[in-house]
Amino acid sequence: MQIKRREVGLTVDDSLMRLYVVEPAAPGQYPGIVFYSDIYQLGGPIVRLADRLAGYGYVVAAPEIFHRLEPIGTVIEPNDLGRLRGNDAAGRTAVAQYDADTTAALDWLRHCETVASGQIGALGFCVGGHLACRAALSPMVKAAVCCYPTGIHSGKLGRDRANTLERLGEISGQLLLIFGDQDPHVPAEGRTTIVETLRMAGIHHKILTYPANHTFMRDDGYRYDPAATDAAWAEIAAFLASGFNTPGLNV
């Protein structure tokens, strides 16, 4: 499916937040996905993932998650210095600020003329995986995909302690969590904590664990695993199609 791209600006707490929006080129209405990056913001690997998702038949809206701290359009390089910079920005952003950004992005999707009514989801990577999980706390979100989400099990998100784990029972949609079994940021005990909490809460969820490291879906680093990435994308496509009750959409 061919896609088209555009830029949208939203003002959140007096700060300009850029949304990278990519959607099918064919006229019509499609499910909308708020799409969260990792700590490096909207660089090539994340944009390519957003573009790929749009090609399955979704309106994808990807916010710059550090817009309060970084100039608009900033891409943080995935090197040692960039890792320090990205983690610093992540740690200086309050949970309430992340939540405000999510509310703004979801509201934009809800009013977007190319988004089908009531068809909104979330997807994210690393810290963005945690943000996608928090987005799922909104009753607007019917399906959320959290790829190697950091901090859910420990409550670590930004400069506050996040209560995401304690609030998982509020999720009304479906949840897909994707992990790598070699991920030092979400160790086995952390994954177990999340899984047991979801089971106890009775949340409709699916857990996938691949023989891979953290950020294994980024195509620019030594941890990239193409085979695991392709397997994960097949699962994501099927999961979202099911979550939006559109079985033929992603064929």
Catalytic residue among 126, 133, 146, 147: 126
| Residues composing the chain | 251
Side-chain half-sphere of 127: how many Cα atoms within 13 Å? 25
Pair of tokens at residue 188: 């086995």
Has 219 been annotated as catalytic? no
The bridge status of strand 15-24 relative to strand 59-63 is antiparallel
Cα(127)–Cα(107) distance, integer angstroms? 21
The secondary structure element, H or E, covering residue 209 is: strand 205-210
CA 26 to chain centre: 24
For residue 137, give both structure tokens.
Answer: 């706390």
Residue with tokens 């996608």: 132
Given a contact cutoff of 8 angstroms between Cβ atoms, the answer to whether 138 and 102 are in contact is yes
Please say if 183 is a catalytic residue: yes
133 is catalytic: no
- Token pair 């994707």: residue: 178
Q: Give which of 89, 88, 201, 178 is closest to 132, Cα–Cα.
A: 178
Contact assessment for residue 65 and residue 37, using Cβ atoms and an 8 Å cutoff? yes
Structure tokens at 235: 């699962």
Q: Which residue of the set 38, 99, 101, 183 is catalytic?
A: 183
Among the listed residues 101, 133, 214, 225, the single catalytic one is 214
What are the catalytic residues?
126, 183, 214
